[in-house]
Amino acid sequence: MARLTDSQRREIVRYLEADMPLPDKYRFLLFEDKREMELVWYGKTNAVSNAVLPFHTIERVVEPRTEREVTLQINLNLFDMDDRERKRPLQGWTNKLIWGDNKLILSSLKNGPMRAEIEKQGGIKLIYIDPPFDAGADFSMTIHVGNSSFTKRGSVLQELAYRDTWGKGEDSFVSMMYERLVLARDLLAEDGSIYLHCDWRVNSILRLVMDEIFGSQNFVNEIVWGYKTGGVPESIGFSKKHHTLLYYSRSAAPIFNALEQKSYVPTLPEPHTKSGKSLGVRRDEVCDLCGIGSPGQKFRMVRARDIWDDIPSIFRNDSQVTGYETQKPEALLERIIRASSNEGDIVADFFCGSGTTAAVAEKLGRKWIVADLGKFAIHTARKRLIGVQRQLSAEKKPHRAFEILNLGRCEGNKFVCANPNLADGNRERELQEQKRAQVSLILRAYQADEIDGFQTFQGKKSGRLVAVGPVNLPVTRLFVEEIIKECRQRHITRADILASEFEMGLFPNALDDAKEEGIDILPKLIPANVFDKRTVEKNQVVFHDVAHVEATPLLNGNKVSIELSHYSVFYTQDSVAEAVASLRKKGSTTVVDNGQVVKVRKDQDGGVTKETLTRHWTDWVDYWAVDFDFQRERETVWIQNADSGEWEEVWSGAYIFENQWQSFRTRNQPRLELQSAFRKCAPGQRKIAVKVVDIFGNDTMTILDVNVGDES
């Protein structure tokens, strides 16, 4: 500790006795390892999450359906390709597509058992992140229905994460990024690098944050990505037509592969003279004497610089467009991945969006881990990555299997937002108070009465008990099992579960045992407007049921095909009545009202027309897949033994969905096939799982009991 004068000591005592914070000067006087400059903001803390939650494997895609199968499946006498005609996936590492809060994902990767698997592969060599740096950002998305489209709002889970974690201004945004960047740094291999993508809104702040976390000595480049399209003219100032990439290394010796980029040069008109005298200037140069030259398409290759003006942004009709407003071009990620990793290295992206990083990494022979909070993002990335697998397989190039994971058991009240400056006791009280207030509001919106005396239930409505799941986390299998356990103990036969999200692949398996025992459990999704008190007061909040899938097995001896026969949804986002009341003359809007997407128009005279866009149940289906031998592989998770501290692999009670056949819509191929290819199966009784993902990105599954006959 540094030497202090007597007056300084007395002053410190006075502050401590008055329970007041010390003036900033004492941060530098009290400690020898003081820094001359330090980044400070309201709510800054050095506390970093050390939570370790198990990763649940929901789905695995080993070998995608090939284009040959797509064209042949209409002939019911033709079956899957012979294995010898396939390009088998690479063995060993399986790529990871993870749904969940990236803070908890990062913490679980860093401190949990998967860390050993990552280190066995050499560690993470490259992290690219493109966070939502727009302070007014939301999680809405454009959904296409036939020839029309509408805007779907983000889920409750996304909206709360944004609003409570980084939607309250720059200080909350910096706090959110600071903790995640510290965790990302600790995951990086010693020769690893990180690229942080940002723009004019936050690049100056994030540069200081990166300096503090990675050290200014490990700053490598501030890369300017300038693009020729976009850029709205400003009334004052110049159009903003570039983004920034902050490139830092983990140590002084990172992986770096020198690359080249196109350098565009103007071309000169011919003849090029001054005062009748030829200047002898070549066409691919600019005249040094008069500066005459006209931009042309000629370019030369030069060593890549920190200004990347040769990578255009994505055009609306580009084949790689997925519908994400913030989607980045594959060429941008290709340059980053080629420069700072080698084939076989692990590349990571914890704000993956539509999956560009994973798609490019797969094409370049890298392993990958990517994550996102949005189910729609995970679904979009899944389709895109299956497309990459198909492409590589068709080109006889290697590819890897990937699996979709989500986080397991979470104690919801640990992660509700609270003021970090409160003392531990006050903080815990605020957390509990927030949780109680949220539950109370949700029960009121559900028109249920609050009750006490139960472990898992907080309300009662029309003779049914009501359990409210954590609004900031998905309801997991463990949560449902605890509800079923209390139902058995108290002889409860009817119950509702309200959740902002349900864990992927949770239903219908999780409720099978309960149904057999006569326990009727109804899962309901909490809508986004549940926190709008005016809507609650008007009893206009609609809690909708999870979707329902119907499928039919078609048998031909020991060959099985699955026909998707029906899909029911009950979503509501706004209502037709609300739309009519709020529309101005000559206005239009699109709503989702009890499972129907409806476009509402009001003409000049106030007349209203309503057009239902979802004309058939198939309009809701974006993707479906079949596992012809479900329950053959148990899903295991790693749990830490409370006594020994050792990690133990245990069965979760669930099974992994092996994605063996799939059909899905793309921008260029909107047609959906409703019958799978026939597949040879071993004779006897088996379970076949059918998974459907709708246009909102929500997944639903049904399980068929099928008795397969002998070979005919």
CA distance 412 to 366: 35
Mean pLDDT of the chain: 83
146: region left, alpha or beta (phi > 0 left; psi from -120 to 50 alpha):
left
Q: Which CATH architecture has domain 94-259+304-407?
A: 3-Layer(aba) Sandwich (3.40)
The structure tokens listed for 203 are 């690049």
Higher-confidence position of 150 and 415 = 150
Q: What is the dihedral of CA 339, 345, 349, 352, to 10 degrees?
A: 100
Q: Average pLDDT of 468-495?
A: 89
3-state secondary structure of 490: helix
User: Would you give the end-to-end CA distance of the chain in angstroms?
Assistant: 86
**What pTM, to 2 d.p., does this model score?**
0.83
The angle at the Cα of 217, spanning 216 to 220, to the nearest 5 degrees, equals: 85
Q: What is the pLDDT of residue 72?
A: 35
CA-CA distances (angstroms) from residue 17 to 3, 12, 13, 254, 540?
A: 21, 9, 6, 50, 53
The count of C-alpha atoms lying within 13 angstroms of the C-alpha of 441, restricted to the half-sphere facing its C-beta, is 19
631: its two tokens: 């329950």
26-35, 41-50, 111-120, 541-550: segment of lowest average pLDDT: 26-35
DSSP 8-state assignment for residue 502:
B
Copy the structure tokens of residue 657. Answer: 């969905």
CB atoms within 10 A of CB 120: 10
Q: Considering only CA atoms, which of 525, 378, 286, 396 is closest in space to residue 58?
A: 378
The sign of the CA dihedral 451, 453, 457, 461 is: negative
The architecture that CATH gives domain 423-545 is: 3-Layer(aba) Sandwich (3.40)
Residue 471's nearest CA partner among 438, 441, 449, 433 is 438
The yes-or-no verdict on residue 55 having pLDDT over 50 is: yes
Q: Residue 218: helix, strand or coil by DSSP?
A: helix
Mean per-residue pLDDT for 353-374? 95
What pLDDT, on the 0 to 100 scale, is given for residue 350?
A: 96
Domain segments of the chain as ranges: 1-38, 94-259+304-407, 264-298, 423-545, 548-708
Token pair 């040069």 is at which residue? 265
Residues 376-398: pLDDT tens digits? Answer: 899 999 999 999 999 998 888 99
Picking from 181, 190, 234, 237, the residue whose alpha carbon sits closest to that of residue 210 is: 181
Which of 215-224, 372-381, 595-604 reaches the highest mean pLDDT? 215-224
Q: In the predicted model, what is the mean pLDDT of residues 586-611?
A: 88
| 677: exposed, middle or buried (Cβ count in 10 Å: 0-12, 13-18, 19+) | buried
Which of 445, 443, 372, 442 is closest to 407 using CA atoms? 372
Given a cut of 70, whether residue 256 has pLDDT beyond it is yes
Q: Do the first three CATH levels of 94-259+304-407 and 423-545 match, i.e. the same topology?
A: no
Give the confidence band of 76 by pLDDT, cuts at 50, 70, 90: very low
Per-residue pLDDT of 299-333, as tens digits, reads: 889 999 999 999 988 877 777 887 777 789 999 99
- Triad 157, 162, 168: Cα angle to 5°: 140
Task: Name the amino acid, one letter, at 669.
Answer: Q
Range in 277-291, 413-427, 599-613, 616-630 the model is least confident about: 413-427
Compute the distance between CA of residue 315 and CA of residue 124 in angstroms, rounded to an integer.
32
Q: Are strands 559-568 and 242-249 parallel, antiparallel or unpaired?
A: unpaired
- Report DSSP letters for 406-429, one per residue: EE----GGGSS---TTS-HHHHHH
Bin 8: left if φ > 0, else alpha if -120 < ψ < 50, else beta.
Answer: alpha
Q: Which two tokens stand for residue 494?
A: 């009817």
What is the model's pLDDT at position 416? 34
Q: Which amino acid is at 581?
A: A
* CA distance linking residue 217 with residue 250, whole number of Å: 10
pLDDT at 712 over 60: yes
